[in-house]
Structure 1
C-alpha cells in the first residue's frame, strides 16, 4: 500500500497502534495484560506512549528513529501521527493551537508499569530546558495511579520532593559517592492507591516506585536527568543517560533545591479530583486541569450507556481503560476495546461513545496545553 496516497481528512477519531518505548528499568507486564497478551512478562519496554509525536532518547538505540512515535492503525502501513499532523497542523490541532505551537501537540502521554523502582531523577522546567537544551518545552508531568501490584511484599509507592534542609552540596556528594539510600532518604516516600494524582513540576526530584501502574501526562520531551548510575535491578546506565549531554556538574542545575515538609509536599502536589459532569448515562471527573498547570489536562469518563462529546475546535486523545464500545462520528462507527487509543482531530466537531457492556466503560481523555 502506498502511504503517500492515503489521506486522512481529520473528520473522525484516528485509531493509533500501541507504541512501546525501551527504558532502563523493567516492567510492562500489566500493560501486556491490559492488551490481552497470552503470556505477559516484564521487560525493558515498561511504557506505552499515547498520541506521541516525540521519539525516545536512548543510547545505543539511536538507529531506531521512530521508537515511541504513535502510528496510525491502518494495516500494511507505517504512518506516523507526526507526519499526519505536519501536513495540516491547523486541521488536526486547531487554528488557535497551530498559531501558538505550530505542528507541535505540546503534550505526551504514557501508560507506565514499573516492576522495579525507577532511578532517582529530575526533569528540567521550561526555563532550564530553554537554557540547557534549547527547547521551548521542559518536562513537568502528572501521574494518575490506575492500580499496581506488590513487588517483594511492598505495595506501590513513589518518591517526591526534597525533605527540609537538603542542599545542593549534599545532593552532589551523594551522587559522587553513589549513596543510593542517602538519596532516597532526602525525599518523601508515599504509598499510593488507585485514583491518586500527583503533579511533578520541572526541577522536582522524584522516582516512581516498584509496582505502580499509572498514566503519565507531560510536556513533550524525553529529558531525564538520572543520578543513579545503576538501576535497582543492576542495569548499568550510560553516562549520557544520566546527564543528557550536560556533563555531571551542570546537570545539577536542573534541580530546584526548594524543600517542603511531608504535609506541605502533599498539599502542593497531590491533586484532588473534581467531578465536572454527572449525568444519568455518564460521569466525567477532572484528574488534573489548567488550574493546576497550563501544560496539559486529563479527565476520566465513566459511560454507562452513551455519551456525546463536543470537540470545541480542540484536539484531544482518548485511551480505553476498560470495556467495549462504539465511537460514532457522523453515522460512521468504530469498534473500540480495552487498551485502544485514539487521536481526536480538532476538526471533529462531535462524536458519541456507546457502551456495549454491562459495566461502566472507563475512558481517559487527554488534552494539550491551555491556549488562552
Structure 2
C-alpha cells in the first residue's frame, strides 16, 4: 500500500537550516542544524552505515524491502534493467545559510575512484525563492582553481560563478561536475542520483574540516579533476534554469536520464499512473486512494500498487526514477 513518510532529518549537519522544512510539513521541530529531509531513501550519508535510510512503518528499512522484492517496489521493467537499484534520492533542503561552493562527480569518476555505482546529478524544484550560484562564468585552469581552494578565498570562488535569482516553481538542473551553491533562505525539493558524494571547494565558515573531509578521501589533487573547469556561457543557463510548466514534466530534458519530476495539479477525481514514486504534496489537502494528504506530507508509492486515485484541490510533485 502507499505509505505516508515521517520526516527523516539527519541531525547536526554542517550547515544551518530546518525551520522552513518544519513549517512546510507542519512539524514542531526547531533544530537549527537539520536542513535536509531524506525522503524514501535507500542511501546513507557518506561514510555512515545507516544514517539517512528510510524506515517503513512495519520496521523494515526501505532498502531491505526493495532488495527482497524489486519487482513489486520498482516495477518489472525497472527490475529487469537495474535490479533493486532505486536510482533516486529525494530531499527537502532548507538553506538556513548559503551552502559552500561544491561539485559532484559523474558516474565514471565515482566508479573508478570510489567504487560507487553512481555519481551525483541533481535537480531542484524551488519552493521558496532566493539566489543560487551555478556554473563557471569563465574557464579556470587547474592551478588557479587549486590555489583559490587552498587560500579559501570565498569572494574569488563566488566570483567565478554565475549568480541567478530563482522563484517558486523554477527548476534548476545541476549536471555532475558543475560548481554550484544554494543561497541562504532557499527551500527546495531536490532529486538526485542515490549517492552522497560532494567535493567541497569552500569550508571556511562552516562546521566542518574541509581539509580532511572535502575531497572524499581522495586528496584534492584527484578530487578536483571531477570538477568541470570550462565556462558555462550565460546564454546557456536557460538550458539548466527555467520556470517549470504548470503541469507535466518539470525538469529540463537533460535530467530525464537520471530522474523525473512531474507537477500534477489536482482538481477533482483523477488517477496517477502506476509506477514507483515519491510524492510531495505542495498544495492541499488532497486525497490519495481515499487517504487525506495534507500540504507538506510525503508519500511512498510502490509500483505494485497500480494506479492511485486522486481527489481534492491541490498539487502533487511526483518524483520517479528514470524510465527503464
Q: Is the shorter-chain TM-score for this pair beyond 0.5, marking a shared fold?
A: yes
Q: Which residue of 2 aligns with 1:203?
A: 177
Cα deviations by residue, 1:93-126 (Å, 9 ceiling, x for unpaired): 1112112211110010111110111011000011
Change (3 A) 1:147 1:229: closer
Q: Which residue of 1 aligns with 2:258?
A: 295
Structure 1: 5+ residue stretches without partners: 1-11, 149-155, 276-283
C-alpha separation in 1, matches of 2:45 and 2:252 = 26
Q: Which residue of 2 aligns with 1:33?
A: 23
Instruction: State the SS of the aligned residue for 2:146.
Output: helix
Are residues 1:67 and 2:30 paired?
no
**How far is the alpha carbon of 1:272 from its aligned partner?**
4.9
Contact (CA 8 Å) 1:290, 1:296: kept in 2 or not?
Answer: no
Change (3 A) 1:80 1:339: farther
Instruction: State the SS of the aligned residue for 1:222.
Output: coil
Contact (CA 8 Å) 1:302, 1:362: kept in 2 or not?
Answer: yes
Q: Which residue of 2 aligns with 1:81?
A: 62
**Number of paired residues?**
323
Change (3 A) 1:320 1:260: same
Contact (CA 8 Å) 1:301, 1:364: kept in 2 or not?
Answer: yes
Are residues 1:186 and 2:149 paired?
no
Contact (CA 8 Å) 1:49, 1:108: kept in 2 or not?
Answer: yes
Taking structure 2 as the reference length, the TM-score comes to 0.93
C-alpha separation in 2, matches of 1:337 and 1:66 = 29
Note the 1:268-347 alignment, pairs <5 A: 268-274=239-245, 284-288=247-251, 292-311=255-274, 314-328=275-289, 333-347=290-304
**How far is the alpha carbon of 1:24 from its aligned partner?**
1.2
Instruction: State the SS of the aligned residue for 1:34.
Output: helix
Q: Which residue of 1 aligns with 2:80?
A: 99
Note the 1:1-372 alignment, pairs <5 A: 12-22=1-11, 23-38=13-28, 41=30, 43-57=32-46, 62=48, 65-72=49-56, 74=57, 78-148=59-129, 156-231=130-205, 234-264=206-236, 266-274=237-245, 284-288=247-251, 292-311=255-274, 314-328=275-289, 333-355=290-312, 360-371=313-324
C-alpha separation in 2, matches of 1:259 and 1:157 = 20
Contact (CA 8 Å) 2:202, 2:210: kept in 1 or not?
Answer: no
**How far is the alpha carbon of 1:27 from its aligned partner?**
0.5
Contact (CA 8 Å) 1:42, 1:115: kept in 2 or not?
Answer: no
Contact (CA 8 Å) 1:18, 1:70: kept in 2 or not?
Answer: no
Change (3 A) 1:236 1:345: closer
Q: Which residue of 2 aligns with 1:152?
A: none
**How far is the alpha carbon of 1:297 from its aligned partner?**
0.4
Change (3 A) 1:292 1:54: closer
Larger Rg belongs to: 1
Contact (CA 8 Å) 1:224, 1:241: kept in 2 or not?
Answer: no
C-alpha separation in 2, matches of 1:291 and 1:256 = 17
Structure 2: 5+ residue stretches without partners: none
**How far is the alpha carbon of 1:28 from its aligned partner?**
0.9
C-alpha separation in 1, matches of 2:104 and 2:122 = 9
C-alpha separation in 2, matches of 1:237 and 1:306 = 52
Change (3 A) 1:168 1:293: farther
C-alpha separation in 1, matches of 2:6 and 2:209 = 29
Q: Which residue of 2 aligns with 1:281?
A: none
